[in-house]
Structure 1
Amino acid sequence: MEILLIIGAAIIGFTLVMIAVPPILRVARQKNLFEPFEERKIHKGSIPSLGGVAIFFGFILSTIIATDGYTFDSLKYIIAAVILMFFIGLKDDLMVISARKKFVVQLFAGIILITLGNVRLTNLHGVFGIYDIHYFVSLFLTLFIMIAVINAFNLIDGIDGLASGLAIVASAFLGMWFFLASEIQFSIMSFALMGSLAAFFLYNVFGHRNKLFMGDTGSLIIGLVVSTLAIKFNEFNIIKTNPVSIYSAPSVSFAIIIVPLIDTLRVITIRLMQKRSPFSPDKNHIHHRILELVPNHLQVTSILVIATIFIAGVAILFNNMGLNVTVQFLLVFTLGILFSFVPSILAKRKKTKLTHQPA
């Protein structure tokens, strides 16, 4: 019965998004609701960025339907926070608002989840020798992680299928673990997100006339839900009594969302070193660098998705080897940093070779 509900959540989410996108596109075309052209954008055509609306309805409805009959105290607060992300993201997609306003709403949504929804980190599993943490430290650390993940997915959403592809991997991995650990409510929620994103992925990557972007509406929702799932994954692994318990949950959960997090850290560091605002747009993201080597969106997305799966696999290998949890976390972090700079190095070498070629 449980597996049917989980599969059902994915199917319902997928179906709802597949059905919702065509009318959303019709409204967008009739009302001329297209993403404004910017020089730094990779896409040159007018493409609606309201895919997040479909993701929102697919995820919310499939989660509510499939968890019916289960005690899921956190769900109403998760939905409340997702609704906040939906409206601030939609407003930004339609009107463009300041980063400060988006940040304030993100803080508010995070505080709702932490204080009312009990979605917070209470233990660091021995990373840097730290186990139980004080409530206020827990509150601020969890809020920082939520904001970081939300904005990381927002910033990585630069080419077709990338943000949705990375989130599909994260939600599938977490959803499978929740199922094996008998945390069915969160497994349902994970697969509801996965199914909704799978349908969006098809339109976004292969849509042609029915192509659309997820916009801030979609990326903010994805970041919020994935951060919630990752935090609960860590919390469920504090007591190692379950046969599928992960000894070093922080490093494994970090590994499955490492690409957007490391990319955000990297671009912000570059901007600060260049004495620019950390929020100023540019083309220094990892997908921009790979595009210089492989000028195809789907191939670039595939490379980054495969890299995520590889790093997650390495993290699980380290976990099974029983390495010190701090060592595991630092190794995964170092692997992510090294990977993030490889495309830049290769792109520079390619430019150097082209420059020195005889005329």
Structure 2
Amino acid sequence: MIDFLSPGWGFVLYPLFGCCLSVLLTRVCIRVLPRLGYVDKPGGRHIHEHAVPRGGGIAVILAFFTTLGFYALHSPLPESRELLARLLVPALLLGALGIVDDRRELKSKLKLAVQIVVALIVWFNMDCDYTILGWPVPWFLSLALTVGWVIVILNAFNLIDGLDGLASGLAIVSAGCMAIWFLPAVGHVPEAMSMLILAGTCFGFLRYNFHPARIFLGDTGSTFLGLIFAITGLSTIDRAVTATSLLLPLLAIGVPLFDVVLAIWRRSARKLLDPHSGGIMDGDQDHLHHRLLRETRKQTTTALLMYLIGCGFAAAALLLLFLRHSTLAVGYILLLFGVLIAIRQLAGVELYASARLIRNGLARPRRGLLINLVHPFIDFFLISGSYMTACWTVFGTAGNPRIFLCAFAPLALLLCLSGTYRVYWLRAGVNDYCRLKLLLIVGSILACLLLFLLNYRTMVQIHGISLRQFISGSIIFSALNVLLVVGERLLIHYAEWFWFRNLDLQCEVPDRQRLLVYGGGLNCRVFISTLYCAQKSGDREQIVGIIDDDPVLAGLHVYGFPVFGGSRQLGEVYEKQPFDKLLVTTRGDDPEKMRQLAEFCRRHNIVLSKLVIGEKTVVQEDR
């Protein structure tokens, strides 16, 4: 006979009970909430077309805590009752805030203040004493990190709740991922059960929240989901914090978290570009789901795509979980490539705003000097990262403050005293980069020699390293210093030449003029640099390619553009790649060639221009 009260069946029955209870309570909310004034009317940033009840998070909260309470009463584990108490108090306070906000729409500052109080309660109720790389985290830093974590996750689910069924569906994916993480872990059975119960209650609510939605979560429900994931995510982080234990909760709630990071990035860049634009707390219609909705034009398709992206993040989290005791480096490499692809594909708006911000810095030296002021701090951070990486590779820990000081001080002093920060790095030359590279190599060698003379015996006694390991760590430290510090500066030039051009094409400027360049020499390079790095917003020229009479260049790429052939193939090029303007950038004048080009342009109604670069005498010297 099947024992339905056994622990194994509990993982099925409690989520199922929560799902059924959520369905029942949601139906009640659909009927009652409109009578109490909880109605979300269309208009503004809202995309729904008719009035829909909001505040459905009340049903999710009641169903979740009722089911979790039944589990805590019947569970033999005392941790289950501790978990219930840990979740209940902050959830009640945040739920009360959401209920009032869904009815009266409170100010952002008031909501933020209450969220900070909720985060403080979470910190006091939990043992948030962590160690990072063997170093204990001070209580005040632990408090700040916990408060920041809770507020970010709360608002992540609040911001993602802009489409029918999106927040509740992503919550199901995230809860399932975290439940899989908790199940094999000894002592985390209550957390696993709470995640399964949350998935069940969200699934029941999704029955009426999927498009076309009959009820919305409201701030009551979206912030509640964020709170549960924030508290439970802290439980996944080991007391001794490792990269894996930190990445697991981040990836489990990857889509909402990625969206809120993009929102902060996007709104901060826009605020710096235009002081009169909205702030970080002001809404917009550039969230991930808004962009996908503009592409698909269907809420159902958009929601399913977002679910799929969420499953991708969850799969990455589980991959790290399964590889944590084996080839973990493979998982990190795959994750890094995945994040880079996600940023490139999904963060076009943010990348373009950042490119404009950097371009304004390039165009205005006074503003660009601010970048020079922060360069020392960036360099010190990168050198510290090189030290941490080298120590972790050799020792398996971060060493100690004395070792860090010996490695850090020579480089920092050499960079500060050598005049490196008197170079305007937004306009640096090749000699400046070579000198910086030499300084970093010399500074790294001095740091390694100082470590060997003062701390080698200590490292042998405490960490048991060999001379070969010390040399390997020194090489890693030196190489990373050069790569990171020089690479950070080279990134600016990369952005100026390539990043700006690619991102400029993403800006929707109407009636762009398609431009073909004749001549792939240095004048062509000057023009491209001027067009894509110094242009103002709204310029309407887009280069489609280059033609050049040098047969060696045919079929190749010059300055990032394809060379279609020579002037004799101009007709074929026009048929395959129509253009509105032909710009001649060759040096010197060939009357016959210009006559042929002019005749072709007149025949096809194309604008013909000549790029002229020269000097003009303003004051003549008297002799």
Query: Please, what TM-score do these two structures have when normalized by structure 2?
Result: 0.51
2-structure distance, mates of 1:28, 1:349: 47
- 1:122 and 2:130 correspond: yes
Cα–Cα, structure 1 residues 343 and 66, in superposed 2: closer, same or farther, change >3 Å? Answer: farther
The unaligned stretches of length 5 or more in structure 1 are 240-245
Give the secondary-structure state (helix, strand or coil) at the position aligned to 2:210: helix
Q: Are 1:256 and 2:263 an aligned pair?
A: no
Q: Alignment partner for residue 322 of structure 1, among 317, 323, 328?
A: 328
Contact 1:74 1:117 in 2 (8 A): no
How far off is 1:7 after superposition? 1.8
How far apart are the structure 1 equivalents of 2:131 and 2:163?
36
The 3 A distance-change label for structure 1 pair 205 and 31 is same
Q: Would you say 1:63 and 2:65 are equivalent positions?
A: no
- Distance (whole Å) between structure 2 residues aligned to residue 96 and residue 41 of structure 1: 14
- Residues 291, 115 of structure 1: alpha-carbon distance in 2 compared, 3 angstrom cutoff: same
Question: What are the Cα deviations for residues 128-169 of structure 1, in whole angstroms up to 9, with x where unaligned?
Answer: xx7542222112111111110001110111001111111111
Name the residue aligned to 1:242: none
Residue in structure 2 matching 1:216, options 195, 202, 219: 219
- What displacement does 1:313 show? 2.4
Cα distance in 2 between the residues matched to 1:97 and 1:314: 37
Q: Which residue number in structure 2 is paired with residue 137 of structure 1?
A: 141
- Of 90, 94, 114, 1:85 maps to 94
Question: Displacement, 1:326?
Answer: 8.1
Greater relative contact order: 1 or 2 (C-alpha under 8 angstroms, separation 6 or more)?
1
Q: Write the distance in 1 (CA, Å) between the matches of 2:142 and 2:332.
A: 19
**Aligned-pair distance for 1:258?**
1.8
Give 1:327 shift.
Answer: 6.9
1:180 aligned to 2:180?
no
Match of 1:235 among 227, 230, 238: 238
Q: 1:8 corresponds to which letter in structure 2?
A: L
Contact preservation (8 Å) 2:164, 2:211: no
Matched residues in 2 for 1:301 and 1:95: separation?
28
Partner of 1:46: 51
Decide whether the 8 Å contact of 1:8 with 1:66 is kept in 2: no
Larger radius of gyration: 2
How much has 1:252 moved relative to structure 2? 2.4
Change (3 A) 1:95 1:326: same
Secondary structure in 2 matching 1:58: helix
List per-residue Cα deviations over 1:191-232 (Å, max 9, x = no partner): 111111011111101566xx1000000001000001111110
3-state SS, counterpart of residue 157 of structure 2 = helix
Per-residue deviation at 1:9?
Answer: 2.2
**Residues 1:204 and 2:213 aligned together:** no
Inter-partner Cα distance in structure 2 for 1:151 and 1:181: 29
In structure 2, C-alpha distance between the alignment counterparts of 1:132 and 1:328, rounded to whole Å: 30
Identity percentage of aligned residues: 23
Query: Which of the numbers 334, 344, 360 marks the counterpart of 1:338?
Result: 344
Q: Which amino acid aligns with 2:204?
A: A
Alignment check: 8 A CA contact 1:155 1:264 kept: yes
- Given that 1:121 and 1:235 are in contact with CA atoms closer than 8 Å, whether structure 2 keeps it comes out as no
Per-residue deviation at 1:343? 8.7
Change (3 A) 1:223 1:170: same
TM-score (norm 1): 0.85
Give the distance between the partners of 1:351 and 1:143, measured in 2 at CA.
Answer: 37
CA–CA distance in 2 between the matches of 1:74 and 1:202? 28
Partner of 2:304: 302
User: In 2, are the aligned partners of 1:156 and 1:260 still within 8 Å (CA)?
Assistant: yes
1:163-174 → structure 2 map (5 Å cutoff): 163-174=167-178
Correspondences of 1:25-44 after superposition (within 5 Å): 25-44=30-49
Name the counterpart of 1:190: 195
Q: Is the 8 A contact 1:150 1:227 kept in 2?
A: yes
Match of 1:286?
288
Paired letter, 1:219: S
The equivalent residue for 2:7 is: 2
SS in 2 for 1:152: helix
Matched residue SS, 2:52: coil
Distance (whole Å) between structure 2 residues aligned to residue 87 and residue 204 of structure 1: 22
1:327-351 per-residue CA deviation (whole Å, 9 max, x = no partner) reads 78766654543343269999x9899
Equivalenced residue count is 344
Of 128, 152, 159, 2:156 maps to: 152
CA contact (8 A) 1:251 1:328 kept: no
Q: Distance in 2 between matches of 1:84 and 1:252?
A: 28
For residues 288-326 of structure 1, what are the alpha-carbon distances to aligned partners after superposition, in whole Å with 9 as ceiling and x for unaligned?
111111112222122122112223323444562322998
SS for the counterpart of 1:279 is coil
Shift of 1:354: 9.4
The equivalent of 2:265 in structure 1 is 269
Deviation at 1:235, TM superposition (A): 2.6
Task: Output the CA distance in 1 between the equivalents of 2:234 and 2:166.
Answer: 22
Verify the 8 A CA contact 1:255 1:312 in the aligned structure 2: yes
Aligned to 1:226: 229
Question: Would you say 1:161 and 2:168 are equivalent positions?
Answer: no
Alignment partner of 1:94 is 2:103? yes
3-state SS in 2 of match to 1:323: helix
